[in-house]
Chain A
Amino acid sequence: MFGPFRITNPLSGGLLWKIPWRLSKFQKRRHRERMRAVDGVIATVDAALAKQGETLEALERWKREMPTEAEMLPRDKYTVFDRKAKRYRKGIHKVPKWTRVTQRVNPPGY
């Protein structure tokens, strides 16, 4: 009845994982902090290179194309485009390795 080997739907049938469809407020907060950490790395690298009067194409491109955490809409922060999902959006926590990859921009219009 209780304990680690109780019979529940996820345990008794093969692939039924209980990943909630939305993020908890704590997941959202940690996600924001991770995004801000990435922004911080970008800012540090940019400032260090600027001191030497140099620049980098990858860095310029990032600054041109990627919004910072503060500039992003909640919709883009916590969901991503998915062509198979209803209304074309799914939670960002469904993306593989989502805590270690950057996924900030989505197709225009979606």
Chain B
Amino acid sequence: MTVSTTNTVPVPPGLVIAPQLPDLLATVEIRRGVLGFLRNHPVVAIGGALLLCLVLIGIFAPYLGTVDPTALAPAKRTRAPSADFWFGTDALGRDIYSRVLYGARVSLTVGLSVALLASLAGLAIGLVAGFVRWADGILMRFMDGLMSIPPILLAVALMALTRGSVGNVILAITVAEVPRVTRLVRGVVLSLREQPYVDAAIASGTRTPMIILRHILPNTLAPMLVQATYICASAMIVESILSFIGAGTPPTIPSWGNIMAEGRALWQVKPFIVFFPAAFLSVTVLAVNLVGDGLRDALDPRMAKGL
């Protein structure tokens, strides 16, 4: 350890000069932009990268060495994974690799659409409930009623009323997820309304629509974004469950849920039929949850790490 010698003042004998401390602050580098954000929040980066891979797989499924996922080949049924059939074939001889890759489309479409629709609907209803006193009671009791039904049961019931299609699956799961967003948004709006800066804005003549747009909405987005990722993950699981019990995506469209459902009977002898779609589902949900957890830490200053 070297002692600073730049000091020209004569040092009285017996006086100990503190050794120069390493400049701790110099190592703190402020990172800006998207790349900087991802470097500061590796969890978001890992989850985001996984998710991006899966989205790309879904989009480019036809070009990734797949065959028609619905083509039957009774002669080649229940083959184990091999060079010809990477993930094996199912009980009807269909290529599981192709079916799993095409199935990613269903899961991702359902997950992202439900997250988007439920967030928008929940945001709208939550804002009304938070701002309009008389509507609050009615809306929230209705939401409580919806929440008292388990989301899967509610989605099954809604699917029973309609034809099985991806669009209907999205709508059914959205209805089941909206109350949670509404709750969150209403709570945030009620607390934001009491903030002095909202009172100050009212005092400085800002009208209610601008109060909502300028002061309430921007501060609602962060918690809502985090909630949206959890809804996305939850929606993908519910979609699989619906398909698994035959109440969701029609069997003509391969989805991870119905691939697993068809492989269920053969689980003990041909486990690979169930294994591959299940693994893909788990990794996708994990990726989405990693993004959500990371965003929560990144957007909530109280839980900030490494700052």
A joins B in a complex: no
B residues contacting A by CB (< 8 A) are none
